[in-house]
A and B are shown apart, each in its own frame.
Chain A
Amino acid sequence: MKTIIRKIEAGERINAEDGLQLLRDADLYQLGFLADMIRKRLHPTPLVTYVIDRNINYTDICISACKFCAFYKSPEDKNGSVLSFDELGEKISETKELGGTQILLQGGLHPDKPFEFYEDMLRFIKGHDIHIHGFSPPEVCHFATLSGLSVTEVLERLRRAGLDSIPGGGAEILSDRVRQECAPRKCSADEWIGVMEEAHNQGMRTTATMMFGHIETLEERFEHLQRVRDLQDRTGGFTAFIPWPFQPDNTVYAGMPKATAFAYLKMLAVSRIFLDNVANIQASWVTQGPKIAQVSLFFGANDFGSTMIEENVVAAAGVSFRLSEDEIRKIVAGAGFIPKQRSMDYTLVAD
């Protein structure tokens, strides 16, 4: 353990085995102090950033049927729906009125909407002059399968239609054993990485997430982190990493114990330590609530994510913390940091 800590203090990279040992054996303070040190090293100015945006889920109809998801409706379910462009327009206008700079656009894997539908959607949204952070890798792969186009072609056409950046959702755990077990119809770990690599190569920035605390082993969490770090070494295209604990209510895994705050803070800190090439780590207030989110600023997080004017996916799993921009600023300032609004690529928005 001492050797690992010395390595980290000297600014050297740790390997997955080191990371695993830290997560297993280091105490909360060892992890917190190290993560905090790295955060300060990477972000010497005590800013904590956030973006004003809205999660728009264009449909909840999904053929993937992931066992950890409480949001989707199967195609046979009459309660599933697709947002009309009018509804989209209204949501975007509201977002802009609240000072929003971007839309997080994600949806289920709809069985039969043609690829052109998504291109039209992007062009429609772009007419409102707002940043579109949309279509996670599983959606991109789904579009490729439906249209017979390659991922490269799909991304090029989405970009031409107005897509600005890609959210890191659908990563879950980047391990094929885990994916086979809980989300067999979703894109594979290689495919997820492939979409992100291609997007980065085309000049798009993306984020990466990790949903942990379900059926994965601790080793598999490091398989995930390793893949993210390796890709980041190749492309440098990830702006941020967002680890968040699985919320089991209303899913196939309902009743599975939730990762506790303690487990969250440790995983957050280890992510900050391991991902030495990813600039920003986001706190997950939407799953952890405002108090733990504030505390996470001392465990490696330097970003409060989004104001999420609307959020449906975590809410479907029975967790519904809400925070206004004002509250986020208060929480950040209360922890001794300067709150700053940012855009997707972490450019600061003028006050």
Chain B
Amino acid sequence: MEEYIEKAGLGDILEKVRNQERLSKEDGIRLYKSPDLLAVGYLGNLVRERLNGDNAYFIYNQHINYSNICTNLCKFCAFGKDKSSDKAYEMTVEDVGNKVRERLDEPIFEIHMVGGIHPDLPFQYYLDILREIKSIRPDIHIQAFTCVEIDHLAKLAAKPVDETLRILMEAGLDSIPGGGAEVFSPRIRKLTCEDKLSGEGWLEVAKTAHRLGLKTNATMLYGHVETIEERVLHLAALREAQDETGGFLAFIPLAFHPKNTEMSDLSRTSGMDDLKNIAVARCFLDNFPHIKAYWVMIGPKMAQVALSFGADDVDGTVKEEIITHMAGAETEQAMSINALVGIIKEAGRVPVQRGTLYDVIEKY
């Protein structure tokens, strides 16, 4: 099959991938710009195979979005609402507890909890919801608060980020999700989310967490107004940070969903773009153990195909996904373990139910 890669003009990159040499930014740009989807996918798949063999991971998790009230109001977001909006909501500590109680009979291994940048909830609230969850379900892993929220919480606590994280960890925080990275480029942040923590700030929080032993994920929101070059610079910044700390678990490319956002005139991402983002990330982020195809965003069909383009994880059973669905996602809100296992097996992989830290819970 190598001749097809040669024909696509990517022979030199194939050589590098085979020799486990690091790709340059130019290589990344060439992969993104190549019209040959299969050749790019093939390269991503080679790297995936080397790093993860036949394993394709998923997790049984529960999403809780404690509040959609947000002062950032990013243009690409359909979830965040001004406090005065009639669609604004916030959960009390008890509400959060009830969400956990409702599903105590399910074998949930992770609670994934994020929210907006709330103007006036006190720092204590965040500690209380962590403690509430752990008091009801002591063994659960809590992955919560994106780097953007952590930065906000540090300001609320009037403490440095590392100290804030230590306090949160004591209250029950186990790891940090990858959201809020968007695209690091200052140009893109100015255009789409001026009030949000900067790219540098995001990376700083992530690295601080890593140094404290907290694992985190990383994301990139693609398919809005960013250029290919800006995508590659984003990946390069993540790769550099990972070289420093090694604390990232997975990279998750997030497909922009325009509906109900201020950028609703833009189109949805194409299948080709979804797969390329998986494949290029897999080739470029040679120091990231996992690449996740988040089925909620791209649909189960694309997530399944992505397993052959570099992804080794399809996220989880989810349930009550709100953020992407408010932006017009037409995917189901939950997938059963059977359905996840089915698509993974059909793709020729071994379904592995994992914990947050990629510990194996069960192979199917």
B302 touches A261 (CB 8 A): yes
Option from B273, B301, B343 in Cβ contact (under 8 Å) with A288 = B301
**B298 contacts A291, CB within 8 Å?**
yes
| B187-214 at interface with A (beta carbon < 8 Å) | none
Note all chain B residues with C-beta closer than 8 A to A85: none
Residues of A within 8 A of B38 (CB): 29, 32-33, 36, 298
Contact of B304 among A37, A261, A293, A294 (CB under 8 A): A261
B274 on the interface (CB 8 Å rule)? yes
Q: Is A30 an interface residue (CB 8 A)?
A: yes
B270 touching A262 by the CB < 8 A rule? no
B132-177: which have CB < 8 Å to A?
A: none
A288 to B271, CA, bound (A): 11
Minimum Cβ distance to chain A for residue B300 (Å): 8
In the complex formed, the residue of A with least CB distance to B298 is A291
Show 18 A/B contacts (Cβ-Cβ < 8 Å), sorted by A. A27-B308, A27-B348, A33-B4, A260-B347, A262-B304, A262-B305, A262-B347, A289-B301, A291-B301, A294-B272, A295-B272, A295-B275, A295-B302, A298-B38, A330-B270, A334-B270, A334-B273, A335-B272
Chain B proximity mask over A192-213: 1 for CB below 8 Å, otherwise 0:
0000000000000000000000
Q: In the assembly, what is the distance between CA of A265 and CA of B271, in Å? A: 13
- For B270, the closest partner residue in chain A by CB is A334
The answer to the question of B186 belonging to the interface, with a C-beta cut-off of 8 Å to chain A, is no
| Assembly CA distance A29 to B49 (angstroms) | 14
Partner of B308, one of A28, A288, A334: A28
Interface residue ranges of B269-286 to A (CB < 8 Å): 270-275
- Quick one: closest B residue to A27, CB to CB? B348
B342 touches A295 (CB 8 A): no
Q: Which residues of A contact B37 (CB under 8 A)?
A: 295, 298, 335
B268 — nearest CB in chain A belongs to which residue? A290
Does A263 make an interface contact (CB < 8 A)?
Answer: yes
Main secondary structure of the interface of B (DSSP, over half): helix
Interface residues of B (CB under 8 A from A): 1, 4, 35, 37-38, 41-42, 45, 267, 270-275, 298-302, 304-305, 308, 342-343, 346-348
Q: Smallest CB–CB gap between B328 and chain A, Å?
A: 14
Q: Complex Cα distance A32/B45, Å? A: 14
**B164 to nearest A CB, angstroms?**
40
Binary per-residue interface labels of chain A (28-62) against chain B in the complex, 1 for a CB within 8 Å, 0 otherwise: 11101100110000000000000000000000000
Asked if A331 is at the interface (CB within 8 A of a chain B CB), the reply is: yes
A 265-304 to B, binary, CB cutoff 8 A, 1 in contact else 0: 1000000000000000000000011111111001000000
Q: B residues within 8 A CB of A260?
A: 301, 304, 342-343, 346-347
Q: How distant is A327 from chain B, measured CB to nearest CB, in Å?
A: 8
The reply to whether the CB of A336 lies closer than 8 angstroms to some CB of chain B is: yes
Classify the interface of chain A: helix, strand, loop or mixed: helix
Most chain B Cβ neighbours within 10 Å, of A27, A28, A290, A334:
A28
Q: Which residues on the B side are within 8 Å of A330 (C-beta)?
A: 267, 270
- Assembly CA distance A20 to B13 (angstroms): 33
Which residues of A have CB within 8 Å of B300?
261
Please determine whether A294 and B271 come into contact, CB atoms closer than 8 angstroms. Answer: yes
When distances are taken between beta carbons in the complex, the residues of chain B under 8 Å from A331 are: 270
Q: Is the CB–CB distance between B45 and A29 below 8 Å?
A: yes
The reply to whether A291 and B304 contact each other, CB–CB distance below 8 Å, is: no
Find out whether the CB atom of B271 lies under 8 angstroms from the CB atom of A290: yes
A30 CB contact (under 8 Å) in B1, B274, B299, B346? B1
How many residues on the A side are at the interface (Cβ–Cβ under 8 A)? 28
Q: Provided the pairs A29-B42, A36-B38, A336-B35 are in contact, do residues A265 and B342 lie with their beta carbons within 8 angstroms?
A: no
Please report the C-alpha to C-alpha distance between residue A154 and residue B118 in the assembled complex, in whole angstroms. 72
Q: How far is the CA of A261 from the CA of B305 in the complex (A)?
A: 7
B338 to chain A: closest residue by CB: A257
Bound: A292/B304 CA distance, A: 11
CB-CB nearest in chain B for A33: B4
Q: Is the CB of B270 within 8 A of A289?
A: no
User: In angstroms, how far is the closest chain B Cβ from the Cβ of A2?
Assistant: 12
Nearest Cβ in chain B — how far from A41, in angstroms? 13
Name which of B42, B271, B305 has the most chain A CB atoms within 10 A of its CB: B271
Alpha-carbon distance A191/B129, docked complex (angstroms): 68
Min C-beta distance of A261 to chain B, whole Å: 4
Given known A29-B41, A33-B38, A36-B38, contact A292–B270 (CB-CB < 8 A): no
| Nearest residue, chain B, Cβ from A28 | B308
A28 to B271, CA, bound (A): 16
Per the bound structure, the CA–CA distance linking A291 and B348 in Å amounts to: 21
A336 neighbours in B (Cβ, 8 Å): 35
Minimum C-beta distance from A270 to chain B (A): 15
The 8 closest A-B pairs by CB, nearest first: A291-B271, A261-B301, A336-B35, A294-B271, A334-B270, A295-B271, A33-B4, A260-B346
Say whether B346 contacts A263, CB under 8 Å.
Answer: yes
- What is the chain B residue whose CB lies nearest that of A294? B271
Residues of A within 8 A of B301 (CB): 260-261, 288-289, 291-292
Instruction: Provide the residues of chain A in CB contact with B275, threshold 8 Å.
Output: 295
B302 in complex: contacting residue of A30, A291, A334, A335, CB < 8 Å: A291
Complex Cα gap A294–B275 (Å): 11
- Give me 4 other A-B pairs in contact (C-beta within 8 A), A295-B302, A331-B270, A334-B273 excluded: A260-B342, A262-B308, A294-B270, A295-B275
Which B residue's beta carbon lies closest to that of A264?
B301
Scan A153-195; emit 1 where CB is below 8 A from any B CB, else 0.
0000000000000000000000000000000000000000000
Q: How far is the CA of A27 from the CA of B349 in the complex (A)?
A: 12
Closest CB-CB distance, A247 to chain B, in whole Å? 13
How far is A27 from B41 in the complex, measured between Cα atoms in Å?
13
Given the known interface contacts A289-B301, A330-B267, the answer about A262 and B4 at a Cβ–Cβ threshold of 8 Å is no
Chain A, Cβ-Cβ closest to B4: A33
Cα(A27)–Cα(B54), bound, Å: 13
B342 to chain A, nearest CB (A): 6
Instruction: List residues of chain A with CB within 8 A of the CB of B305.
Output: 261-262, 265, 292, 295
The answer, among B299, B304, B342, for a CB contact under 8 Å with A289, is B299
Give complex CA distance A37, B4 in Å: 9
Choose among B45, B274, B298, B346 the residue that contacts A262 (Cβ–Cβ < 8 A). Answer: B346
Q: Are A29 and B1 in contact (CB under 8 A)?
A: yes
User: Is A335 a contact partner of B270 (Cβ separation < 8 A)?
Assistant: yes
The CA of A265 and the CA of B302, in the complex, are separated in Å by 11
B308 touches A29 (CB 8 A): yes
Which chain B residue has the least Cβ–Cβ distance from A37? B4
A287, chain B: closest CB distance, angstroms: 10
**Minimum Cβ distance to chain A for residue B294 (Å):** 14
